[in-house]
Amino acid sequence: MMESERLARDVVEKLKQVGRTVSTAESCSGGLLGKLLTDFPGSSQVYLGGVISYTNQVKETILGVERELLDTLGPVSEPVARAMAKGVCMRLHSDYGLSITGLAGPEGDGSGKPVGLVYVALNSPKETVCQELHLSGSRTEIRQSACQSALRLLLNVLNNLQ
């Protein structure tokens, strides 16, 4: 079993134990995070769904990301990642929202931001946290690493619940 599969399994099991739910908002990972979470029987008890927000229009209209953030900072930014995580929580009524936005390559997007720059955010009932990642490797490797980071972020929060 690959690391990302182990992490997803652990997240699903922990969510079941604590009786909480999660939803996902993905850009550069293109649905991989949702796929990982739904690979396990019973995941429908805790995984409510996801939004693949590959364009700014979907980020704005479906997830509620403010147009001003997208226009001034671009889709690959911490505030956008945070807004995506909050938006998917609100739209899907989940306890937790995980978001991933970044540049998986192989080319950049013309913004001057480097390939491998990824933001992973987690919205929880207590707070929204975000990690800036600088990943390397192929497009597939960057996407896998981003998903692993998102799963670790959620698992750490779940393991620290009182």
Domains of the chain by range and CATH?
A: 3-159 (3.90.950.20)
Contacts of 2 (CB under 8 A, 6+ apart): none
How far, CA to CA in Å, does 119 sit from each of 17, 29, 81, 139, 142? Answer: 28, 11, 6, 15, 12
Beta strand pairing status for 117-123 and 47-52? Answer: unpaired
Q: Phi and psi of 134, rounded to 5°?
A: -120, 95
Closest CA to 69 of 56, 57, 80: 80
Q: In order along the chain (162 residues), what is the average pLDDT of each group of 10 residues?
A: 94 97 98 97 96 97 98 97 98 98 93 96 97 98 98 96 72
Q: CA torsion sign, 162 to 133 to 110 to 138?
A: negative
pLDDT at 1: 74
* Cis amide leading into 41 (omega within 30): no
Task: Encode 9-41: b = buried (16+ Cβ within 10 Å), e = exposed.
Answer: bbbbbbbeeeebbbbbbbbbbeebbbbbbbebe
pLDDT at 162: 59
The number of angstroms, rounded, from the C-alpha of 112 to the middle of its chain's C-alpha atoms is 23
